[in-house]
Copies of this chain bind each other. A is one copy, B any other.
């Protein structure tokens, strides 16, 4: 299938909501920054709401973060949008009669789990606040053109 950009797009939405919290935030406006359709934005916002990351009100264009951006990590957003799915996929159908086929899934599963957790720990080290501040610094850096 097409590769999922839900995670990245959701981070984008959350950063946008926080940075532009003082203006009117219709799904249309957010969509123009993410360069997608308002329906896709609303669909993602539904997921973020269910995960307790934002609060929205039907008919009103004012989504808010449900928690302080220092208290939201990239991992929280990852779990909300992609779930705790494997990063590396086992082949679940191997021959149980064979020494290799009968044992490899358990062994590989442990190795994959370790690698996944290492990546997740990194995601958990970065907060939405970190991301927003870095974006704002990069923007200033652009404008100082040197």
Contact = CB atoms under 8 A, between A and B. Distances in A.
A103 B140 CA distance: 11
A107 B119 contact: no
Tell me the number of copies of this protein.
2
Classify chain A: how many residues form its interface, as a range.
35 or more
Interface string A4-17: 11011101100110
A98 to B, nearest CB: 4
Interface string A83-109: 000011111011100111111101110
Contact of A8 (B34, B74, B91): B91
Interface string A34-76: 1100000000000000000000000000000000000000100
Contact of A114 (B4, B5, B11, B122): B122
- Consensus secondary structure, chain A interface: helix
Nearest to A121: B118
Contact of A5 (B5, B91, B119, B142): B91
Contacts of A90: 5, 8
Contacts of A88: 7-8, 78, 123
A24 interface: no
Contact of A89 (B7, B16, B101): B7
